[in-house]
Structure 1
C-alpha cells in the first residue's frame, strides 16, 4: 500500500501538471475561486458500534478548468487552499477530529445558449486524503484510509453584459467519501461522509 506522503506528493504533482497553462492554449482555460460548504450526509455510519456524525465545514476552494476547443465539454479540477477539518461525534459526544483534502475532477457538459447564463452538469472522481486523525482524551492511534469515489456536479456560470472575462458561478457537487477506520490497527467501522459541496464564487476565462 502507498504511504500517505507518497500519495499526497503524487496529487500535488498532478495538480501542478493540470494547472500548467501554455501560452498557445491560454484561451481554453478558466480559473475559479469560491467559498464552499461541505455538508456530510445525515447518516455517517458507525464506529466501534456507535453512531457517527461528521461536522459541516467551510473552506476556500479554487479550481482550474480546461475547455476542449469550441465544444461544450470541459474538465475541472477542484482543490482547497487548506485542509478541511472535521469533528466526529459518536452517539452525540465529541470523540475525534480529522483533516482531509478532497481533490475532485469532473468532466462537464455546458448547455450553451444565446444568453450569458450557462448551466452545466458533470461527473467524475473524487479522492479524500485524510490525516492528523485524533481521538479525544486518548493516546490510541486512529487512522482513516485514503478513499476514492464517484463525483457529480450541477451548476451554472453567469457573465454580466459588461464583463469581458469575469463571471460568477454557483454549483453543488456530490462526492462519494467512505473511509475505513482503524483504532490501534484494528478495524472499527466505516466513516460514510458522502457530502454535498455547495460552492459560490468568481470565474475568469483567459
Structure 2
C-alpha cells in the first residue's frame, strides 16, 4: 500500500470510527445539510487523440496509458436532492509514440496529473437505501513533474517537457448503496474534458509540440460515510 493510499484509507477508517457509536435508530438516506465523505479506488482511462509531433514528425501521434490510484471526495447536500461534490486525486501517466521514429523510441514522457473537479449532482431517491445520482460540472487540470523518458533523451539528447494546464467540463453518474445507516458502497463513472499542449525542448531536433486530447473516463469503486 503506497503512502497516498494509506492516508485515504486512514481518513475513511477514522470517520467510520467516529460514527460507530451512532444509534441504530438513526434515519437512513440523505437530506439537506449532510456532508458525504467517499474514498474510492479509481481507474483513469484516457480516450486520447493527438496531433502529430510538430514540426519534425507531423504524421506521428502519441498514446497515453491508464492509471489506478485512490481518490477522496466530499459532497455537500444543499437540498435533499442537490449536492455539490469536490473531487481530489492525482495520477501519473506516460505518453508513448505510436508509429515511426517515435514509436520505435516507445515511452516519450511522463507527467503527474492533478484534476480537481466540482460537480453539481441530482440525487434520486434521497431517503432510500439505494440512491442513484447524476452530475455535471467543471474541471481544472494541473500537469506537474513532467519528465522526458530515458529513451527519448538517449535519442535526441537532454530534453525538457512542459504540459499546459486544462479547463474543461465534466459529467458523472453513480449510485450509493447503504450498508448501515451511515456507511454506504459507492460506484461512480465520470467523463472529463481534458486537453493539453506538450512542449518538448530537445538538444538534437529543437522544440517539438503535440496537442493531446486526454478526455479520460474515470471509473471508481469505494465506500462513503454520511458525516
TM-score over 0.5 for the pair: yes
Q: How many residues are matched? A: 176
How do residues 84-123 of structure 1 correspond to structure 2 at under 5 angstroms? Answer: 84-91=91-98, 92=103, 93-112=106-125, 115-123=128-136
Partner of 1:6: none
Tell me if 1:34 matches 2:40: yes
Measured after TM superposition, the shift of residue 191 of structure 1 is 1.4
Q: Is it true that 1:54 corresponds to 2:64 in the alignment?
A: yes
Q: Which residue of 1 aligns with 2:86?
A: 77
> C-alpha displacement at 1:140, in angstroms?
1.7
Counterpart-to-counterpart distance in 2, 1:114 and 1:63: 21
Contact 2:42 2:68 in 1 (8 A): yes
Secondary structure, counterpart of 1:96 in structure 2: strand
Report the Cα distance in structure 1 between the residues aligned to 2:65 and 2:189, rounded to whole angstroms: 18
Deviations along 1:9-54, one digit per CA (max 9) or x if unpaired, are xxxxxxxxxxxxxxxxx95211000100000005344433321110
1:147 — aligned with what?
166
CA distance in 1, matches of 2:53, 2:74: 36
Structure 1 equivalent of residue 213 of structure 2: 192
Question: 2:221 & 2:94 partners in 1: Cα distance?
Answer: 24
Q: CA RMSD in A?
A: 1.9
Where in structure 1 do 4 or more consecutive aligned residues deviate above 4 Å? none
Range that drifts further, 50-59 or 106-115: 106-115
Q: Which residue of 1 aligns with 2:187?
A: 170
If the length of structure 2 is used for normalisation, what is the TM-score? Answer: 0.72
Instruction: Provide the C-alpha distance between the structure 2 equivalents of 1:157 and 1:44, rounded to a whole number of angstroms.
Output: 36
Q: Alpha carbons of 1:45 and 1:110: their partners in 2 closer, same or farther (altered >3 Å)?
A: farther
Q: Contact conserved, 2:33 with 2:76, CA < 8 A, in 1?
A: no
Structure 2: distance between partners of 1:103 and 1:67:
19
Distance 2:133 2:51 in 1: 32
Superposed displacement of residue 69, structure 1: 3.3
- In 1, Cα distance between the equivalents of 2:53 and 2:221? 33
> 1:183 offset after TM fit, Å?
2.0
The 8 Å contact of residues 48 and 216 in structure 2, kept in 1 or not, is answered as: no
Structure 2: gaps (5+ residues) = 1-31
Higher radius of gyration, 1 or 2? 2
